[in-house]
Amino acid sequence: MLLTPLRGSEGPGLPPIHAPVGPVGPVTALGPERRRRAGLTGRTHCSSPPRPGPPASPPRYLRPRGPAVAPPPPSLLWPRARALSLSKSSGGGGDVHQGFQNLLTEVNRTGTQYLLRTANRLFGEKSYDFLSSFKDSCRKFYQAEMEELDFSNATEESRTHINTWVAQKTEGKITDLLSPNSVDPMTKLVLVNAIYFKGNWDNQFDKEHTQERPFKVSKNVEKPVQMMFKKSTFKMTYVGEIFTQILVLPYVGKELNMIIMLPNENTDLETVEKELTYEKFIEWTRPDMMDEEEVEVFLPRFKLEENYDMEGVLRTLGMTDAFEEASADFSGMSSQRDLHLSKVVHKSFVEVNEEGTEAAAATAAIMLMRCIRITPRFCADHPFLFFIQHSKTSGLLFCGRFCSP
């Protein structure tokens, strides 16, 4: 997230809130409505023309004018809060801080059989006066320290320094988060969130069974992929209302799963995306909706790396004031009230192979929609959606689509 100074605009103060800007990233511990909005963010992002990469692990970045962390005026707070599903309960949003603190503690805990690490840092212009309460809040709830840089006189060096930090935190998978000219001497603050995940399948694919097969990009276009194969017992179901198979591939320890949604060959992926909400996702993937049986699984080996400008997505969700010089209010960060959000960037990396994944994020009526017969073959040889989910909390850490090799 990049903040830039605004000249001569004033904005009223706001009640404390820390609004994370970005797509799905970790959304556990936020309550159902906030998780729902996180899912909607991903769905909104997916409604653009298909791209192969996943909107996962949101890094954000800012410039002077508007609060990412407490406090904004009600007229500005609630449009932004609605966009991010941050409720007014519990003291004007204080529960949001605590929810993220709990989440970060959970995902960064040691002793797991997978590697999942998140890292947050504030890179602030050394000559700019940020409120100590803002810095304390970031440190306490988000494990994010403030590092002072000289954006005014050493812009390129500052950009390179931030990219080096991100590369270290993502095991070298994301090396150029900030492109040339993405920061300038007017930049006052860059907020960065990095998340890195690496997990092995609980039931690995045999490399000897991987072979080249056609992937149907569209009805008339095919491209070759290295298709993995595994015949084993997995949880799977079929959602009749969207003509889609859902397969659960657990990672070692079964604390995390990859969930794949594969529409039939006559159903466009966009049709599934338009129907997908967080509530429906949770309903469709409930354990009691799944059948555990022997399945033949065909899954392409793939690697995705994409860059995204998230401003359009956030504006679509109703978060517009933060980007406007005349209306943005980040008075919870600085008493100068001269900041606005100029850019939100996101870069993600996901690799899926035989060993596992590496990534740098009910009612009776519905049950009747479930197909009685589950096809024992799951062949992902055409576009599909995938999600990495934390089993204990149902939180989505990453999500994306695979449309073309």
Topology of domain 2-198+305-350 in CATH is Antithrombin; Chain I, domain 2 (3.30.497)
CATH code of the region 207-303+352-402: 2.30.39.10
Q: Supply 97's token pair.
A: 């801080």
* Dist CA 41 CA 342 (whole Å): 19
Query: Domains of the chain: which residue ranges?
Result: 2-198+305-350, 207-303+352-402
> In the prediction, which pLDDT does 229 show?
94
> In the prediction, which pLDDT does 375 show?
47
> In the prediction, which pLDDT does 381 show?
92
First to last CA, the chain: 30
> In the prediction, which pLDDT does 309 show?
72
Q: Supply 130's token pair.
A: 């940020």
- According to DSSP, the residues that pair with 193 across neighbouring strands are 120
Please spell the DSSP secondary structure of 27-94, one letter per residue: -TTS-HHHHHHHHHHHHHHHTSSP-SS---S----EESSS-SBS---HHHHHHHHHHHT--SHHHHHH
pTM: 0.70
* Dist CA 195 CA 360 (whole Å): 5
In degrees rounded to 5, what are phi and psi of residue 9?
Answer: -100, 140
DSSP H/E element including 160: helix 155-169
Beta strand pairing status for 291-300 and 377-379? parallel
**CB within 8 Å of 229: residues ≥ 6 apart:** 205, 206, 209, 210, 211, 296, 297, 298
In degrees rounded to 5, what are phi and psi of residue 290?
Answer: -100, 150
> In the prediction, which pLDDT does 226 show?
93
Q: Which of 61, 69, 305 is nearest to 170 (CA)?
A: 305
Q: pLDDT means per 10 residues in the chain (405 residues)?
A: 41 27 34 45 44 38 31 32 43 54 64 73 85 85 83 93 88 84 84 79 92 92 93 93 93 89 91 88 89 92 77 76 78 79 74 78 27 64 89 79 85
